[in-house]
Structure 1
């Protein structure tokens, strides 16, 4: 019998960490070297919610979803990185990426953004080649997901602190009682060496999909599409 499932995905040391939640309360967690392999495992899922920028600007102003997310997140607004313009994806160095981004948008690029550029490019190339996946693979921001699951209230603490980890774990357990089991399982996997905040970020994506039961909202409400037709949006659920 086919069961519905929802997948949350985060980047962990250049790999793809995924949590899958089924509607019968079962779950699994896995780590993939490539996004294509992740898709092959989860293409039957209702949604795959990924913490990675998807729709990209060509030039000019920042994406509305990033600006809106920052305004909603209060002290956590700095967790929303600047997203590169599309041309910068082809850069071979941080200096070149800064030069391209600056010429197109007037803004240089942070090293944090440059560090995840290969993963942004990987997902973009995947979605250009496999357009049927665009309805299933959607962009999230974990802090926005926590905001939604916490009565539209941002987190108080940085996620990399013990207080921040506990704060987020409590919200995950409130919506999914087995959350601790999933976190413990992922952190115990030999050879994975994932960070605690990687697993909570993947898990909040999966819980957002599961608890929404198909009722996700987009930020902004009427998102623009980029030059390749990808929506420049983040999805969120507010119970």
Structure 2
């Protein structure tokens, strides 16, 4: 079995692929299309980016609401309100903020605007290639860490304590954790891939492998569909059956 975890990074997309026999690979991709093409032989690709976008109504996507509730007050804020599809395709922050407020009745943070180009890229890809959603699935590292460890992470992933906390979780579950992180840090510049990108992508790939072995959990259980017929669900897996 082959599982791929993907996180957005400064240079595009950082992917960690791991096999059930212990083999692993790391790679940076400029586009989601290239990533999917290279990993067409994988069993699952978990990516930390919204798949499926709302275009009306003030309620957030159910998967985001349920993920935030699962993580609680400490880490729930890591699940950001996803903008509407119309805002994602705006050319400026001011236009996107105004559009999102008009359609979803809430504004758009500058932090979210910073990843809108990646949301748009993936949305364009899945809308025009609906077959990819059978393998390319939305996930969330903090939800995965919760499921793999049994509790939300205590520290922010951006600080040393948070990085150590998350690495310790992964180390207990996957024997090549230290080797992968060391290799990534030595072979990629921080202006290409940050430490938290490496940790998040590895977490998703490990979660994917556990899901392939023991079954995935989805939020919400009842699939919510957007107006492009794209499902809006977050996948993750527990470390035990």
What TM-score do the two structures reach when normalised by structure 1?
0.95
Pairing 1:183–2:177 present: no
Give, in whole Å, the separation in 2 of the partners of 1:208 and 1:52: 16
Q: Which runs of 4+ in 1 moved over 4 A?
A: none
Taking the TM superposition and a 5 Å limit, the aligned residue runs for 1:104-123 are 104-123=103-122
The CA deviation at 1:221 is 1.1
Change (3 A) 1:93 1:104: same
Give, in whole Å, the separation in 1 of the partners of 2:199 and 2:79: 17
SS in 2 for 1:11: strand
- Paired residue for 1:213? 212
- Paired residue for 2:49? 52
**Aligned 8 A contact 1:16 1:35 in 2:** yes
SS in 2 for 1:159: coil
- Paired residue for 2:231? 231
The CA deviation at 1:144 is 0.2
Give, in whole Å, the separation in 2 of the partners of 1:14 and 1:105: 31
- Paired residue for 2:90? 91
The CA deviation at 1:223 is 2.2
Give, in whole Å, the separation in 2 of the partners of 1:73 and 1:208: 16
Give, in whole Å, the separation in 1 of the partners of 2:188 and 2:21: 28
Taking the TM superposition and a 5 Å limit, the aligned residue runs for 1:165-180 are 165-180=163-178
The CA deviation at 1:190 is 4.3
Give, in whole Å, the separation in 2 of the partners of 1:233 and 1:91: 24
What TM-score do the two structures reach when normalised by structure 2?
0.94
**Aligned 8 A contact 1:148 1:237 in 2:** yes
Structure 2 alignment gaps of length 5 or more: none
Aligned residues: 235
Give, in whole Å, the separation in 1 of the partners of 2:220 and 2:188: 40
**Aligned 8 A contact 2:15 2:27 in 1:** yes
Q: 1:189-220 deviations in whole A, cap 9, x for unaligned?
A: 14463211100100011000112225111011
